[in-house]
Amino acid sequence: MVTVETIDLGLIDYKEAWDFQEQLFNRVVEEKLEQRANQVNLKTPTRNYLLLCEHPHVYTLGKSGDEKHMLLNEELLKSKNARFYKINRGGDITYHGPGQLVVYPILNLDNFFTDIHKYLRYLEEAVILTLQEYGIQGGRVPGLTGVWLDGNNAAKARKICAMGVKCSRWVTMHGIGFNVNTNLDYFNFIVPCGINDKAVTSVQKELDYEINMEEMKQRLLDNLANIFSFNFVKQLNAHN
């Protein structure tokens, strides 16, 4: 069974977390290139990581996104104490902020399966199973990524978890933004994921009480480990 090192970064600036992702991503890619140079079986486990964090208010635009979906100019961004980054994941624009659980898996998919669509469905399934533990029925909307509530009802459909990933040499980065105790007002300043006819929600909004974030992290981590069949070990020093 593959081992995944989990690192809880707490509340961290988006750019700092992005740089750290890049560092770990490059480390895994280098391990794979060394294996290839030494004619080692690529199925030989490399290091794998899973970062958990929250971000101060920030909007990120994927490489295929439309900048018009950001509805704030630079001055208004500052007034909302928010930042904006164009980044190298798939997908359109999304928001991250305090109370949203962000998960960044840096996984060598050669250690699991080389199927990016299966990878996305597994991430979604882990969130769906976690929501079930809180009595919330999550699901999917055909043709769209992420996890939705009432996804089969166009009038009621609302997104509770957004996803955007990068995968190169079968190594992943970026991941999911799961609205747990998120201030949803910040979504009013964008066209979330480029979709202008569906709402967003959070676990807190659906249940009408604040969720224990540490409990949520553990439940989601357990579901990810079960679905991907990995063992996780916690790494206390994020920069080892």
Residue 53 has pLDDT above 70, yes or no: yes
Read off the pLDDT of each residue in 14-28 and give the average, rounded to a whole number.
Answer: 96
- Beta partners for residue 101, in sequence order: 178
Q: What is the mean pLDDT of the chain?
A: 91
Q: What is the CATH number of the domain that holds 140?
A: 3.30.930.10
Query: How high is the pLDDT of residue 76?
Result: 86
Q: Which of 19, 6, 12 is nearest to 100 (CA)?
A: 12
Residue 220 lies in a domain: yes
Residue 142 lies in a domain: yes
Note the pTM of the prediction, 2 decimals. Answer: 0.91
Query: How high is the pLDDT of residue 236?
Result: 55
| DSSP E strand boundaries for the chain | 2-11, 49-54, 58-61, 83-86, 93-96, 100-106, 138-139, 147-149, 158-168, 171-179, 199-200, 230-234
Read off the pLDDT of each residue in 38-67 and give the average, rounded to a whole number.
Answer: 87
Query: How high is the pLDDT of residue 181?
Result: 98
Residue 58 lies in a domain: yes
73 or 25, which is more confident: 25
Residue 231 lies in a domain: no
Query: How high is the pLDDT of residue 138?
Result: 97
Q: How many domains does the chain divide into?
A: 1
Count how many residues are written for the chain: 240
| Domain enclosing residue 205, as ranges | 53-103+110-224
Residue 43 has pLDDT above 80, yes or no: no
Give the pLDDT confidence of 79-135 residue by residue, as tens digits: 898 999 888 887 788 899 999 999 999 999 999 999 999 999 999 999 999 999 999
Residue 141 lies in a domain: yes
Angle 112-162-20 from CA coordinates, rounded to 5°: 65
Catalogue the active-site residues.
193
Query: How high is the pLDDT of residue 88?
Result: 80
Kindly indicate the confidence band of residue 238, based on its pLDDT and cuts at 50, 70 and 90.
low
Residue 185 lies in a domain: yes
